[in-house]
Amino acid sequence: MLCCSCTASEEALARGTEPPDPRYRALDYSLTLLPEDARSAFLRAYEPDKERFYALLEEAEAESRAAGDFLMLVDKNNALAENYEPADLVSLNDYPLARNRADLRLRKAIMPALLEMDASARSLGLRLVYSSTYRSYAYQRDVYDRWVRQLGQAEADRVSARPGHSQHQLGTAIDFGSIDNSFADTAAGRWLYENAWLYGFSLSYPRGYEAISGYDWESWHYRYIGRAGALLEREYFSGLQQHFLLVLDAYRRQMAAPTP
Ligand SMILES: [Zn+2]
């Protein structure tokens, strides 16, 4: 008995001198960026099995790294460089997809997942129509300037991204169908809302979360975040892409160079 308790306390002593897990520290810091209710919801999912979270995170990061990083945070505060253009853009004209325009391009890296999602929809008699995809920095600048002329800057910022701030520049974002919220009530819109995550796609600007995403509700705009990423977003961030990518961005920075 004495020996046992002796060993146990030696182990405890040894544990106490170990440096804290850097992942815990990085995550603690990153979670401070979330509002209180979102942080609580995250912890309820995370606490019972922390290693499951980190395993899923590593899977999501591995998928993303293999495709040259598709989990970058691009929002009102975080822009892509003027010269950012994915190297693997392909024309949708070369794929059996329903298109509203002839000049649509997306990253080749996401095409296998996209084709699988499209085929699943078709097998149910649904048709996904691709209306807008990759947009260059120069194109965004033209569109934004036009909105500002029509609506003034404040209104323009609610409906349009400033140049460099559009997820469309990633070559992984898609606008479906009518590009207005009548899309939400179509069979294709409902199906995507329920099922897109299974293929790694995420609704970027959901209804009721305008203050978080920074944009009005856009039932038609999806971004690819990978299958593991979509699962993380769903299980730990209540399906809110902005929260997931905000935390991931901070977590990456902390792991690379922790704040003292
Ligand atoms: Zn869009």
Q: How far is the CA of 43 from the centre of ligand 1 (A)?
A: 31
Q: How far is the CA of 27 from the centre of ligand 1 (A)?
A: 30
pLDDT of residue 4: 47
Is residue 10 in some structural domain? no
Cα–Cα distance between 257 and 237 in angstroms, integer? 24
Q: How far is the CA of 221 from the centre of ligand 1 (A)?
A: 5
- AA letter at 11: E
Is residue 12 in some structural domain? no
Domain span at residue 48 reads 27-256
Q: Is 97 helix (H, G, I), strand (E, B) or coil?
A: coil
Residue listed under structure tokens 């999501």: 60
Q: How far is the CA of 134 from the centre of ligand 1 (A)?
A: 9
Six-digit token pair at 182? 């009548």
pLDDT of residue 20: 84
Q: How far is the CA of 222 from the centre of ligand 1 (A)?
A: 7
Q: How far is the CA of 175 from the centre of ligand 1 (A)?
A: 5
Residue listed under structure tokens 């306390």: 9
pLDDT along the chain (260 residues), means of 10: 46 63 95 97 98 98 95 94 96 97 96 98 98 96 94 88 93 97 98 98 94 90 98 97 97 88
pLDDT of residue 1: 41
**Rounded to whole angstroms, what are the CA distances from 223 to 124, 167, 171?**
22, 7, 9
Indicate the number of domains in the chain: 1
Q: How far is the CA of 174 from the centre of ligand 1 (A)?
A: 6
Backbone angles phi, psi at 41, to 5 degrees: -65, -40
pLDDT of residue 63: 96
Query: E strands of 58-103, at which residues?
Result: 89-91, 98-99
**CATH classification of the domain holding 181:** 3.30.1380.10
Is 222 within 8 Å of 191 (Cβ atoms)?
A: no
Backbone angles phi, psi at 158, to 5 degrees: -80, -30
Is residue 112 in some structural domain? yes
Backbone angles phi, psi at 150, to 5 degrees: -80, -40
- AA letter at 140: Q
Is 209 within 8 Å of 4 (Cβ atoms)?
A: no
Q: How far is the CA of 235 from the centre of ligand 1 (A)?
A: 24
pLDDT of residue 210: 87
Is residue 166 in some structural domain? yes
Where does residue 41 rank: exposed (0-12), middle (13-18), buried (19+ CB within 10 A)?
middle
CB atoms within 10 A of CB 174: 25
Is residue 17 in some structural domain? no
Is residue 42 in some structural domain? yes
Q: How far is the CA of 155 from the centre of ligand 1 (A)?
A: 17
Torsion angle of C-alpha atoms 213, 217, 220, 222, degrees rounded to 10: 10
Q: How far is the CA of 146 from the centre of ligand 1 (A)?
A: 17
Is residue 205 in some structural domain? yes
Is residue 123 in some structural domain? yes
